[in-house]
Structure 1
Amino acid sequence: MKTPSSSATNLNKKNLEHMVTMNDFSKQEIDKMLELMTLLKNARKDNAIPELFKNKTVGMIFEAGSTRTRVSFETAATLLGGHAIFLSKKDIHLGAKETVEDTARVLSRMCDIIVARTNSPDTIEGLIREATVPVINGLDTVYHPTQMLADIFTIQEHLPDGKELADLTLAFMGDATDVCRSLLLICTKYGINFKQIGPKKYHLEDKWLRLADINCQESGATYEITEDIEKVSECEVIYGDSFYWTTQLEEKAERLAAFMPEYVITNELMKKAAPGAILLHCLPANDKEEVTREALEGEYSVAFDQSENRLTAQMAILIYFTHKFIKEPTIEQIKFHENKINDLLKKL
């Protein structure tokens, strides 16, 4: 007799949601995620996190290395009573001996949620096509949604007295990275004015600005893409990121020459910012390149609070995207199966 699949594939997957970009969600939906983050952070402070991911597994595909994304998701799963499996390119056959789509099918039958940090958005799209569990984009070179949850949460925690998110202006110092694009969209969704400050060659492309225009029409936010470093005087949030990534090492010298020293975040630059301005950085930070150690350790820096909030964000993500599929067994069901299994074991 063939036993039907007992995997997550056969659970009720009506209205299955994935996370590719925060721009896919309404402000109200993101507010709920942020509210969940607050509750979970308070629970962690009291060492009283409920096991809302108990007996569940997150499969984590990592084509690219990471400190914060990997550690935060693994720790989040553990704190919530679940389990995380790290899958590097060496551990699975993704895109080589096995298609991305088949990988999604297999993981969906063994895991309750998939996180993928990839070198291409095509991988995320392929996983979503065939996955029957939620797929979370842990970074795909275009978007970095999990970082955005931590960023907005951190800014909320450090709001200047008497101000709300919609009263702020954020300056992103650097290249049009996945973080820069994602910040443009989350800021304009929340009514936060956004500025990218850096050399013209590395400015955001028009297609991203067109998406931001849609958000601005609803939120009233504005954006500005400029080379003028003096524009930091209008900003309460200064955000740093690397001027080059691991896939751009051949351009490193050219990029550093374009950005340094004018666009490096220093104590002097922070003094030019609006009163009470804070410094964020998605890390890892390259000392003496995009930010000085003195600035990163300054009293205005909240970069390590921001890093810690990656854990808070990942706990919220694991719960938010799986809670509606939880099927808690009754005591009677557990006892029934325990007795059946024990009866067989006695005969072995």
Structure 2
Amino acid sequence: MKHLLKLQDLDKEEILDILNLADQLKYENHNGIEHHILKGKTLGMIFQKSSTRTRVSFETGMYQLGGQALFLSNRDLQIGRGEPVQDTARVLSRYLDGIMIRTFEQKEVEDLAEYGSIPIINGLTDYCHPCQVLADLMTIREYKKSFDGLKFCFIGDGNNMANSLIVGAITMGMECAIACPDDYKPDAEIMKWANENGKFTCSSDILECAKGA
């Protein structure tokens, strides 16, 4: 069983496998080729943070793959309202084939994976946003054909998106530059990992970071 809790859990080959499958499914969808590979499967979608794009994309994706998506808001669940996440994970594992959760704390996602018995997908936490970055990597490859020799630049707060973009860019072999205010830098451990595993820059100098990107 494989979870998607954060991009650090995937190596380059695993990300390429995901992107190759996504390319194939996109081609089939555009050409009217049915691919109901999740027929009979149900994905529970826990939304403690609301989102237009996350809900629509996951529901549409499950429909195209022949499965069913079940929307679960705070009003629908006891999680965080007297029921420990351990109990929620065990109960939902008996009914569902997978869970996508969009929430605040990364620990909640990790706990679902630890105590449940079905795959868990991180739809967003305050720490990271792996699905969005996989989509970004797919777009980069569509337009640039390859990651080789590319410089990736992100301009903005060092938030969950910055954290995941750093990991995605460095893992795929791109140079990565993050331009952000000094008081809003990305996660320190992620920046340490990036410096040890690739060419990485974090600076408040926007023009310098963007040069050559």
On whether the aligned pair clears a TM of 0.5, the verdict is: yes
How many matched pairs?
213
SS at match of 2:148: helix
1:174 to 152, 156, 164: 156
Residue type matched to 2:79 in 1? L
Give me the whole-angstrom Cα distance separating, in 2, the residues matched to 1:96 and 1:205: 29
**Are 2:203 and 1:226 aligned?**
yes
The alpha-carbon deviation at position 233 of structure 1 amounts to: 4.8
Preserved contact between residue 20 and residue 145 of structure 1 (Cα < 8 Å) = yes
**Are 2:34 and 1:49 aligned?**
yes
Aligned to 1:141: 126
Give me the whole-angstrom Cα distance separating, in 2, the residues matched to 1:200 and 1:80: 44
Aligned to 1:215: 197
1:206 to 176, 188, 201: 188
**Are 2:182 and 1:195 aligned?**
no
Aligned to 1:269: none
SS at match of 2:176: strand
Name stretches of at least 5 consecutive residues in structure 2 with no aligned partner. Answer: none
Q: Deviations over 1:207-253 (max 9, x none)?
A: 2211213432xxxxx111111122255243xxxxxxxxxxxxxxxxx
Aligned to 1:165: 147
Matches within 5 A, 1:1-348: 16-159=1-144, 164-216=146-198, 222-236=199-213
The alpha-carbon deviation at position 128 of structure 1 amounts to: 1.1
What TM-score do you get using the length of structure 2 for normalisation? 0.95
Residue type matched to 2:148 in 1? A
The alpha-carbon deviation at position 198 of structure 1 amounts to: 2.3
Preserved contact between residue 44 and residue 72 of structure 2 (Cα < 8 Å) = yes
Q: Deviations over 1:100-153 (max 9, x none)?
A: 111111111111011000111121122112111101111111011101110100
Give me the whole-angstrom Cα distance separating, in 1, the residues matched to 2:71 and 2:48: 11
What TM-score do you get using the length of structure 1 for normalisation? 0.59
SS at match of 2:177: strand
The structure that has the greater radius of gyration is 1
Question: After the TM superposition, which of the residue ranges 57-66 and 186-195 deviates more from structure 2?
Answer: 186-195
Preserved contact between residue 166 and residue 193 of structure 1 (Cα < 8 Å) = no
Give the percent of matched residue pairs that are identical in Structure 1 and Structure 2.
37
Residue type matched to 2:146 in 1? E
SS at match of 1:166: coil
Question: After the TM superposition, which of the residue ranges 167-176 and 37-46 deviates more from structure 2?
Answer: 167-176
Q: Deviations over 1:14-70 (max 9, x none)?
A: xx2111111211101111111100100000001213110101100000000111111
Name stretches of at least 5 consecutive residues in structure 1 with no aligned partner. Answer: 1-15, 217-221, 237-348
Give me the whole-angstrom Cα distance separating, in 2, the residues matched to 1:81 and 1:230: 46
Computed over aligned residues only, the root mean square deviation of the Cα atoms, in angstroms, reads: 1.4
The alpha-carbon deviation at position 181 of structure 1 amounts to: 0.5
SS at match of 1:115: strand
Aligned to 1:320: none
Residue type matched to 1:94 in 2? I
Give me the whole-angstrom Cα distance separating, in 2, the residues matched to 1:90 and 1:156: 40
Preserved contact between residue 185 and residue 215 of structure 1 (Cα < 8 Å) = no
